[in-house]
Amino acid sequence: AKRRAPNSYQFFGTEMNAQLQERLVLETQLRYALERNELQLHYQPRVDANSGKILGAEALIRWQNPQLGFVSPVKFIPIAEANGLIIPIGEWVLRTACNQNRLWKEAGLPPLRVAVNLSARQLAQPNLVDLVAQILAETNLSVDDLELEVTESLIMENVEHSIKVLQELHEMGITLALDDFGTGFSSLNYLRRFPIDILKIDRSFVNNVVVNQEDAAVTNTIINLAKDLNLHITAEGVETQEQFEYLKIKGCDEIQGYYFSKPLPSSAITELLQKNHQS
Ligand code: C2E
Ligand code: CA
Ligand code: CA
Ligand code: CA
């Protein structure tokens, strides 16, 4: 045992080093990602549970770097949050998504709502409401064409300020969705105060909704809660027909997930939209 301690310490040290090293490379590369055009948006359709019509799509960021390959947003968004890069990146996401929606409109497709994820830093930035208004004006879109997704934990970072900003966006007429619902810790008391239109059931519940009684119970509770509060309900991460049928019967309004479509580049989504429109 005496000999193992220093060894494992050394191993731990090397491991730490490798992790720091990776993070450093990631941060450095991320600084240039925007100007080098390494970022892209994919879109995942949100479908009306009853009619099967595509009502909108969520914009999801993708980063392909020559040195690092594909880096998941789960990995780089928190880093961008920490070093502030999320501000220019977030602005790029908003503008790109709105611009894409304008192109869909110009192609003669029925009106769609494009959903953009907001991060905590963006919600804290002083000019967010003006920025959103400006981008809508630039892209010739109306407030009905945009949806913003926020999470409970994001709102809870600075409750009073967040509610104030969300209220302004809501008064403008922008649709607000509470993302990953059920995974945060905010009390129902707060939920009443959030000026939101949509609850998105987190995919961790949807995952096992047909096989696990507890997850089904949580999902049913969320759906009933949303109905009592007059909120629209979207289920994310729907992968199978069984999950889809279950959620539809329980009264989910919209579904999003691999069952209908993975997030895809804009060209592929445009094709899908055209087919969906004709059918
Ligand atoms: P999210 O907002 O909860 O997005 C849903 C995630 O679930 C996406 O992962 C999507 O690809 C994945 N997903 C959708 N349907 C299914 C399904 O049926 N099965 C499974 N297993 N997964 C499904 P993705 O694209 O890797 O994004 C991960 C997270 O990164 C997002 O979670 C969001 O929190 C963040 N993110 C992505 N794009 C942006 C962005 O532009 N801005 C900000 N602030 N965050 C972003
Ligand atoms: Ca989301
Ligand atoms: Ca989500
Ligand atoms: Ca999620």
Which DSSP string do the residues of 165-190 spell out, in sequence order? HHHHHHHHT-EEEEEEETSS---HHH
**How far is it, in rounded angstroms, from Cα 253 to Cα 47?**
9
* Mutation test residue for ligand 1: of 43, 117, 202, 259, the one with most atoms within 8 Å of CB: 117
State the burial class of residue 153 (Cβ atoms within 10 Å of its Cβ: 0-12, 13-18, 19+): middle
How high is the pLDDT of residue 11?
60
Ligand nearest to the Cα of 74, by number: 1
50-80, pLDDT tens digit by residue?
999 999 999 999 999 999 999 999 999 999 9
Q: Is the pLDDT of residue 5 over 70?
A: no
Strand partners, 252: none
**How far is it, in rounded angstroms, from Cα 103 to Cα 70?**
27
Q: Please identify, by atom number, the ligand 1 atom nearest to the C-alpha of residue 258.
A: 18
1 falls in which pLDDT band (50, 70, 90)? Answer: very low
* Residue 101 Cα to ligand 2 middle (Å): 17
ipTM here:
0.97
Q: Please identify, by atom number, the ligand 1 atom nearest to the C-alpha of residue 119.
A: 44
4 falls in which pLDDT band (50, 70, 90)? Answer: low
Beta strand spans in the chain (E): 39-48, 54-65, 69-71, 113-117, 146-151, 175-181, 198-201, 232-235, 254-255, 264-265
Nearest CA to ligand 1 atom 45: 117
- Ligand 1, pocket residues at CB < 6 Å: 44, 60-61, 72-74, 77, 93, 117, 119, 179-180, 203, 236-239, 257-258, 263
* Mutation test residue for ligand 1: of 34, 60, 61, 71, the one with most atoms within 8 Å of CB: 60
Nearest CA to ligand 1 atom 9: 60
* Residue 180 Cα to ligand 4 middle (Å): 5
* Residue 60 Cα to ligand 1 middle (Å): 6
**How far is it, in rounded angstroms, from Cα 116 to Cα 32?**
22
Question: How distant, in Å, are the alpha carbons of 102, 150, 172 from that of 136?
Answer: 10, 19, 11
* Residue 207 Cα to ligand 4 middle (Å): 12
User: What would the mean pLDDT of 221-234 be, rounded to a whole number?
Assistant: 94
Q: Is the pLDDT of residue 195 over 60?
A: yes
* Residue 179 Cα to ligand 3 middle (Å): 5
Q: Is the pLDDT of residue 15 over 90?
A: no
pTM across the whole model: 0.93
Q: Output the furthest CA–CA distance in the chain (Å, rounded).
A: 74
User: What would the mean pLDDT of 3-7 be, rounded to a whole number?
Assistant: 53
User: What would the mean pLDDT of 132-156 be, rounded to a whole number?
Assistant: 95
